[in-house]
Amino acid sequence: MVVKECKLYSKEKKGKIKCLACAHKCLISKGKTGVCGVRKNIKGKLILLVYGKVVSMNIDAIEKNHYMVFYLKVMLLVLEVLDVI
Ligand code: SF4
């Protein structure tokens, strides 16, 4: 599991963290997650629990992609991962 510390947060009183990544601006106590459930206060740091996880994986014909200019008739493995911090 890849552990990634978020950048958009501020430390508040009593070990709480204020996440600034979206309009909810959750105030998160130690060991708890924000409204989204993917950012957690772990030992006073805001950790993104889903960083690097695969969101989707599929094989596409390259003609569906803009790389077709270079490699005609080739299949393409498409991986999408989460990397928002
Ligand atoms: S913890 Fe999630 S829901 Fe809360 S402010 Fe951060 S990104 Fe938004």
Range of the domain at 27: 4-48
Q: What is the pTM of this model?
A: 0.75
Per-residue pLDDT, averaged over 14-32, amounts to: 96
Nearest ligand 1 atom to alpha carbon 38: 2
* Residue 57 and residue 81 in one domain: yes
Angle in degrees, CA 6, 12, 47, rounded to 5: 20
* Residue 10 and residue 44 in one domain: yes
* Residue 39 and residue 22 in one domain: yes
* Contact in structure between 21 and 42 (CB atoms under 8 Å): no
Number of separate domains in the chain: 2
Cβ–ligand 1 distance for 26 under 6 Å, the answer yes
* Residue 11 and residue 39 in one domain: yes
Cβ–ligand 1 distance for 6 under 6 Å, the answer no
Q: Picking from 3-7, 67-71, 75-79, which range would have the lowest pLDDT averaged per residue?
A: 67-71
* Residue 35 and residue 57 in one domain: no
* Residue 38 and residue 56 in one domain: no
Residue 67 DSSP SS3:
helix
Q: What confidence score (pLDDT) does residue 55 get?
A: 85
**Each residue's pLDDT tens digit, 33-71:** 999 999 999 999 999 998 888 888 888 777 776 665 666
Q: What confidence score (pLDDT) does residue 18 get?
A: 98
Cβ–ligand 1 distance for 34 under 6 Å, the answer yes
Angle in degrees, CA 42, 33, 37, rounded to 5: 130
